[in-house]
Each structure stands twice: as C-alpha cells, then as structure tokens.
Amino acid sequence: MVDGTKNSDKGALDGIRVLDLTRVLAGPWASQLLADYGAEVIKVERPGRGDDTRSWGPPWLRDAAGDATTDSAYFLSANRNKRSITINLANPDGSRIARDLAVRSDVVLENYRVGTLQKYGLGYADLNRLNPALIYCSITAYGQTGSRADYPGYDAMIQASGGLMSITGMPDEEGGSPQKAGVAIADIMAGMYAATAVLAALVSRSQTGQGQEIDVPLYDSQVSWLANQNMNFLIGGEAPGRLGTAHPNLVPYQAFPTLDGHLMLAIGNDRQFVAFATCLGRPDLAVDERFLCNSDRVRNREALVRLIANEMVKRETGAWLAEMTAAGVPVGPINNIAEVFSEPYAAERELVKVLRHPAAGDLPSVANPVRFSETPVTYRRAPPLIGEHTQEILSRELGLSSQEIKLLAESGAI
C-alpha cells in the first residue's frame, strides 16, 4: 500500500514545480507523468466546477460510507500526485495569483483556446518577462499558428480528421466501418509528446538557463504517430485502408478464431513463421514458395490467412497458447480489462497501486509502467478533491494570511 503522505524516495524531477492550467486529458496526462517522476504539480481548477472530467461519469468514486461522490473514475485516471487549487482566472485577483505561482514555477502547462490566457496576462510573453527560465507548454487542437489555430477540438474528431479512424476497424468488404480507438489515444499521445518536450526543455535550460515556449497540437501529434502507416503512403503512394486486427506490413499478424474463442498472432520474422507452421501442424507452409519470406506472405495474404484459419479453429485457445509460447511464437490471448487485472502477472508487476484518498480511503490507481533503478516513480498523493489544497498553497507558497485568503474567497477569485 502507498501512503499518500509519505515520500521517502526522491524522483528524477524532485525540485521541479509545474503549474498545471490544463483540464480533460491531454494536459492532465502530461502533468501526471511529470508528477510521477517527482515533480510538484499544482493543478489549477475552476471554483465550484473543477476539471471538466470530474463530471464525466458514471462510474463515480465512492466515499468511505459507500456513497457516490461527484468525482468520476475518468478524472481519477489522470490526476494522481497533484495538489488542487481553485482559481478564477477571469478575476483580476485570481489571475494575479496564477502569475505569482508561475513566477515560482519551472513549467506551465496549459490547454486553453489560442489567445485566451493572454487576456488574463498569462500568455507566454507575459510570464516570460517575469520568469525568463520558465518553460511554457501549450496543448491545443491545432497549434498556435495556422488557419485552424482558433478551432476547438476533442479527441474523437482528431482521431477522425488526423487519419487514425481511416485505418481502424474492419474493411468495408467485411461489413466494417471507420472506428475510433477504445481510449482517447489522440489526447494521451499528445500528452506524452508534451511531457517528453518538457523534459527536453528542462535539459536545455540546465545548459543555457533559458526557458522556452512549446507548442503541442493534438492534430499534428496524431498525424506524427501514425508511424509506418504514414511512410507506407509517402513511399508507396497509396493511402492505407482498414484491416481489422491485421498488419499492413506483416503476415500473419492478426487475430484468429479458435475452437473456443480467439487469440492474437504476431509473427515478426521468417524464423518465427517456421516455428509457427510447425506448431500449426502445417510445416509445409514454411517451404511453400508463396510464403517463404514476409514479402511473399504479404503478397499472398488472403490465401495464407485462409489456410491458417482452417487450422486454428480445430483446437482451444489455451492449447494453442501453450504450444506456441513454448516454441517462441509471439501469440497472446485477447483479454478483457477485468482479466488483465486478475491475472497473476498483474500482481507480479505491481500494476495497481493503492493510494490514500481523503474521501474514499483506499483508492486503486494504475501504476506508471516505467521502472527507474535510482529515481523510482513515486506515488505520493491520490487525485485531489477540488480545491483541496487551495489554502495550503496560498499560505505556504505565496505567504498569504488567513484574512487575505478569506477576502479572495469573498471576491470570487478562488
């Protein structure tokens, strides 16, 4: 169990402060990664409402008495290791508080519409004058420049317009249609790009003493991480289509029905194909001139997939998995999420951490997958209640008195 108040291990980013002006997923995902690596993250939320995702339920977090709270499971997925302060940025006193915190921070993360924060004196140019060492990272739908800079955007529309949905789902001839991924992967990947960009900027600052502005668009990120599919088009000249679970450049690399379910086969080289053909009881396939090397198998995809499918349905999933795994063939079951967390491997790798939550008591949280030898990921705080740390931050970080804090609350600044 992880005690939310204990921090005996220092993370790699210990001593780095992040002022997090983001909400929903891309920005909070980035700041949670930085927080996991040891950064102090101050999450700024709107008074009374907080991060949009607090209301994106059900399911809802339940308190110690078993009653539903107003915090969704969605919010809990991206806001670990943060302190929450409520600030009304449109209030002059509120924007002043945010500026004062920015002056005392190493990084500002924001995902407002382009130009919004400049109205409150919280744009990059404003804060750079006050803190030249500040790293200012903006995450938006389409970036800070260009004809779409003013457009709003959410994950699903970015998955669609950025190309991902055109290669996700079963092909038309099999009754398929474009599909989005089962999680907000455009948001998550933009958050990952943002986190790595901040880390790079911190390294640069350690050498030059200068901060910088970082522009991370969801759309550009989505296009960028299409990886081999992008190059398939740029080199081959044809737009890739939907192949269901199949791979455009490797065969066999897809899900197959078995006698009692499905499994996922992922053959990555010719040696593995030879081993697979032996397990399948069809060693002849490995010497068939149509399938000798991967390029042959890609050209003759339809014929090979049909032959494999005819054999795979003859045995149970478990039998195939046992034999192929022993032979070094990359293959796996198609688990649902409940099965993922109930497998012994989940406990072996400690994929779930339990945090102390002020309302719920013990709260499960999915572990960061990175393992450091010297600066371990830390699990210091459960996702905060809205404004849970407002008074603490104002008094400790800005030195405000209880009377000053009371007046700010009365004015609607916090």
Mean pLDDT of 158-174: 95
Residues in the chain: 414
Residue carrying the six token digits 């349905």: 313
pTM of the model: 0.93
pLDDT at 349 over 50: yes
As a whole number, mean pLDDT of residues 215-236 equals 97
Determine the pLDDT at residue 160.
97
Question: What does the pLDDT look like over 286-343, one tens digit per residue?
Answer: 999 999 999 999 999 999 999 999 999 999 999 999 999 999 999 999 999 999 999 9
The C-alpha atoms of residue 139 and residue 230 are separated, in whole angstroms, by 23
Average pLDDT on 123-139 reads 97
Domain limits, the chain: 17-224+373-411, 253-342
Is residue 128 over pLDDT 50?
A: yes
How confident is residue 10, by pLDDT bands cut at 50, 70 and 90? confident
Give the residue among 281, 268, 251, 264 at the shortest CA–CA distance from 321.
Answer: 264
Query: What confidence category does residue 11 fall into, taking pLDDT thresholds of 50, 70 and 90?
Result: very high
Q: How many CB atoms sit inside 10 A of residue 153's CB?
A: 19
**Residue range 253-342 in CATH 3.30.1540.10:** yes
**Centroid of chain to Cα 205:** 25
Q: What is the pLDDT of residue 21?
A: 98
SS3 of 174, please?
A: helix
Rounded to an integer, what distance in angstroms lies between the CA atom of residue 213 and that of residue 2? 35
**9 pLDDT more than 80:** no
The dotted CATH code for 17-224+373-411 is 3.40.50.10540
Mean per-residue pLDDT, 98-125: 97
Which one of the listed residues 20, 51, 187, 220 is annotated catalytic? 187
pLDDT at 2 over 70: no
Give the model's confidence band at 3: pLDDT under 50 very low, under 70 low, under 90 confident, else very high. very low
* pLDDT, tens digit (0-9, with 9 covering 90-100), for 262-286: 999 999 999 999 999 999 999 999 9
The pLDDT, as a whole number, for residue 153 is 87
Q: Which of 129, 127, 119 is nearest to 98 (CA)?
A: 127
Please compute the mean of the pLDDT values over residues 164-173 and round it to a whole number: 95
User: Residue 56, SS3?
Assistant: coil
Query: For 224-230, which contacts have Cβ atoms below 8 Å and span 24 or more sequence positions?
Result: 224/193, 225/189, 226/162, 226/163, 226/164, 226/167, 229/163, 229/167
Question: What's the N-to-C CA distance of the chain in angstroms?
Answer: 34
Active site residue 71: no
